[in-house]
Amino acid sequence: MPEAQDNSGAWSPAEFVKRLEPHERVLIELRDQLYEGSWDRVLSDLRARQRGEPYVFKLSKTIARDIEAIEKLQRYEREHQVDLARLLKGEAAG
């Protein structure tokens, strides 16, 4: 079965945020609240948990899914020079 292609990089920031899955929204909020806005720290924590090492926060039982989501979110932010947390806050205010 062929893998689904991720064309989210072509979406505008507003469209990207609108299409975020609930777990992706949680990851963005946790990144800012617990990890000082650093995706690298979130990924490090998840990978430590995978290895059975101490970790900061139990994100979910689906570490692989979260890592994949974080990489997607991180890539989008980098490519579009946006902060998804700010966009989420703007969406909530609007």
Output phi, psi for 81, to 5 deg.
Answer: 50, 50
Residue 84 lies in a domain: yes
Residues 6+ apart with CB under 8 A from 12: none
- Distances, alpha carbon 68 to alpha carbons 16, 55, 64, 65, 94, in Å: 16, 18, 6, 5, 29
Residue 1 lies in a domain: no
Task: Tell me how far apart the alpha carbons of residues 36 and 22 are, in angstroms, rounded to a whole number.
Answer: 21
- Which range of residues forms the domain containing residue 55? 14-93
Higher pLDDT, 2 or 62: 62
Task: Tell me how far apart the alpha carbons of residues 76 and 38 are, in angstroms, rounded to a whole number.
Answer: 14
Does residue 92 surpass a pLDDT of 70? no
Residue for token digits 């000082």? 36
pLDDT tens across 32-82, in order? 999 999 999 999 988 888 888 776 766 656 888 889 999 999 999 999 999
Tally of domains in the chain: 1
Residue 2 lies in a domain: no
